[in-house]
Amino acid sequence: MKGLVLASRREDDLNRTVVAVDGVRIGEGFVVIAGPCSVENEEQTFRTAQQVKEAGAHMLRGGAFKPRTSPYDFQGLGLPGLKILSRAKDLTGLPVVTEVTDPRDVSQVCEYADVLQIGTRNMQNFALLKEVGRVDRPVLLKRGMHATLMEWLHCAEYILSEGNPRVILCERGIRTFETYTRNTLDIGIVPAVREISHLPVIVDPSHGTGRLSLIEPMSLAALAAGADGILIEVHCNPPEALCDKDQAMPPDRFAGLMRKLRILRETMNEISPRAAG
Ligand code: PEP
Ligand code: MN
């Protein structure tokens, strides 16, 4: 595929990349990454981390650097937030995924996080892509909200071509004319990615829908479509969330979703052992 030297897969090559993070293998089975939109304080992060761990999540998410639409909204705790995340990992054993928004912060974020997230607004921030391409940390690359599949894969190529082979793609919804949902979650892109790329692809149904009621069905849809996992926002006390409270899933509901995912995985395994991993 033109320009996609490292991100594309040859039609006859069925091998897929598995990104290993501290014992978690993304690209094998179905990985669930869960946690708050933003790290607000120690108590909120530790409680949520313990609750998602108990429910069976494999990794913890949480933003310390928040790219907000308004400069007056909560921007994240920055370095103190990274330290809280790293202590939450000590407490639960869950590897940490967190967003980096500025090339100047990359080395600091690497000290505290296991996976660097590039958010939708920065998908084509080429200076940032090159910077994360030079470090020894996996990168979770969200799809730009206006990006085509080819534009998205070319951004993965930026990271790969700098020498970092550990790229995970994340579909998080695109902008369409629809306003009922926050974004339009493009589930069809999952099998499309798998057709032309060897990179693991996960789905973020929280930002993809923006509505709590839609997160569970879209999580199940992601699994059924062949995604390698989901990234989902969970908060120990959603009404108090400082960021994205309308899509914050309470822990008991998350535990229920995890049970349904397990049942669907078993069913998929019966149909086609390879499909569900
Ligand atoms: C996030 O996952 O915290 C986030 C800001 O997501 P996105 O970049 O997809 O909006
Ligand atoms: Mn969010």
| pLDDT tens per residue across all 277 residues of the chain | 788 999 999 888 889 999 999 999 999 999 999 999 999 999 999 999 999 999 999 999 999 999 999 999 999 999 999 999 999 999 999 999 999 999 999 999 999 999 999 999 999 999 999 999 999 999 999 999 999 999 999 999 999 999 999 999 999 999 999 999 999 999 999 999 999 999 999 999 999 999 999 999 999 999 999 999 999 999 999 999 999 999 999 999 999 999 999 999 999 989 876 554 4
Q: What per-residue string of b and e applies to 112-151 under the rule 16 or more CB within 10 Å gives b?
A: bbbbbbbbbebbbbeebbbbbbebebbbbbbbbbebebee
Q: How much is the pTM?
A: 0.97
CB-based contact 219:256 (threshold 8 Å)? no
Query: Which ligand has the minimum distance to the alpha carbon of residue 121?
Result: 1
Q: What angle do CA 138, 139, 140 make, to 5 degrees?
A: 125
Which of ligand 1's atoms lies nearest the C-alpha of 120? 8
- Alpha-carbon distances of 38 from 143, 156, 188, 223, 232, rounded to whole Å: 20, 25, 28, 25, 12
- Alpha-carbon distances of 22 from 11, 114, 147, rounded to whole Å: 30, 8, 31
pLDDT of residue 274: 59
Type of residue at 144: G
Expressed in angstroms and rounded, the spacing between residue 4 Cα and the centre of ligand 1 is: 25
Type of residue at 98: T
Expressed in angstroms and rounded, the spacing between residue 119 Cα and the centre of ligand 1 is: 5
Instruction: Tell me which residue has tokens 């790293």.
Output: 86
- Alpha-carbon distances of 15 from 26, 153, 200, 233, rounded to whole Å: 14, 18, 11, 31
CB-based contact 167:138 (threshold 8 Å)? yes
A 10 A CB-CB count for 111 gives: 11
Which of ligand 1's atoms lies nearest the C-alpha of 145? 9
A 10 A CB-CB count for 108 gives: 15
Give the side-chain half-sphere CA count within 13 A for 131: 21
pLDDT of residue 189: 98
pLDDT of residue 78: 97
Expressed in angstroms and rounded, the spacing between residue 178 Cα and the centre of ligand 2 is: 19
- From atom 8 of ligand 1, which residue's Cα is the shortest distance away? 119
- Alpha-carbon distances of 33 from 21, 157, 180, 195, rounded to whole Å: 12, 24, 26, 24
Expressed in angstroms and rounded, the spacing between residue 242 Cα and the centre of ligand 2 is: 10
Report residues whose beta carbon is within 6 angstroms of any ligand 1 atom: 37, 63, 67, 99, 119-120, 142, 172, 204, 207
Cα 82 off chain centre by? 17
Find all residues with CB under 8 Å of 9, minimum gap 6, and list them: 15, 16, 196, 197, 198
Expressed in angstroms and rounded, the spacing between residue 36 Cα and the centre of ligand 2 is: 8
pLDDT of residue 10: 86
Q: Where are the alpha helices (DSSP H) in 114-250?
A: 126-132, 149-161, 189-196, 205-209, 212-224
The CA distance from 22 to 225, in Å, is 26
Type of residue at 216: E
Mutation test residue for ligand 1: of 37, 59, 115, 183, the one with most atoms within 8 Å of CB: 37
Q: What per-residue string of b and e applies to 77-104 under the rule 16 or more CB within 10 Å gives b?
A: beeebbbbbbebbeebebbbbbbbbebe
Mutation test residue for ligand 1: of 66, 70, 142, the one with most atoms within 8 Å of CB: 142
DSSP three-state, residue 76: coil
Which of ligand 1's atoms lies nearest the C-alpha of 117? 2
